[in-house]
Structure formats: structure tokens, C-alpha cells
Amino acid sequence: MEKFMLLFEGPMPAPEAASPEAMQEIMGKWFAWIEKLSKDGRYVTGEPLLPGGKILKGSHKNVVDGPFTEGKEIIGGFFIINARDYEEAAALCEDFPDYATGGNVIIRQVQKVEMPA
């Protein structure tokens, strides 16, 4: 098995999505997906991300507000999963809860690095 990072990208949430009922429905879908991945031994870890952040740019490492302050899409969180290959990782994303609201999943394979002793 290989490790893959799933980055969850989507539009900024609409204000009406912040109602308690809407949030409960959305979170129920996310928890069901996590439970399904966990039962299959695929889910390793993951966390939601708060909006905003900082970006270090250039050789002088200038700190700017970010990420994506000029865009309408944000990276809202990530998972690390176990899968054989990209095809299986993509198949495991079929239940991604935010497709219906314009969300995307970016899949990246984690490179194995041997650390010197």
C-alpha cells in the first residue's frame, strides 16, 4: 500500500450553509465517509483547516496573507489514506461529501524518503 494525500478544495461556503441544520447534515456525510474509509483500513489521518493563513514567498521569505486571498476557492482540509495506486485512491473519493457544492479532491502520492540514521 502507498500513502496518498487528499486535499479538499472548494468554494467559500455560502452564509446559508452556516445554519446549524445544514452544518449537521454536512458533518454527518463527512463522518460517514471517514467511517467507511476507516473500516476498510484506508483512513490514516486528516483534519479540517481554518480559513486564512500565511504564505512565505521568495528568497527573502516575505510573509503575506493567504492562502488564495484573491481566489474564491480554498483548501478546506486534508486526509492521508492508504491505496494501491492513483486509480484506487480516486475510487475511494467517490463518496466525497462536497462534490454537490462544487468541491474537488486533489490527490497526491506521498513520496517515501529514507532518513539517515
- pLDDT tens string 1-54: 999 999 999 887 666 667 888 889 889 999 999 999 999 999 999 999 987 787
CB 14 within 8 A of CB 98: no
CB 5 within 8 A of CB 69: no
How far apart, in whole angstroms, are the C-alpha atoms of residue 86 and residue 89? Answer: 5
Task: Assign residue 29 a region (left: φ > 0; alpha: ψ between -120 and 50; beta: otherwise).
Answer: alpha
Q: What is the dotted CATH code of the domain comprising 2-109?
A: 3.30.70.1060
pTM for this entry: 0.84
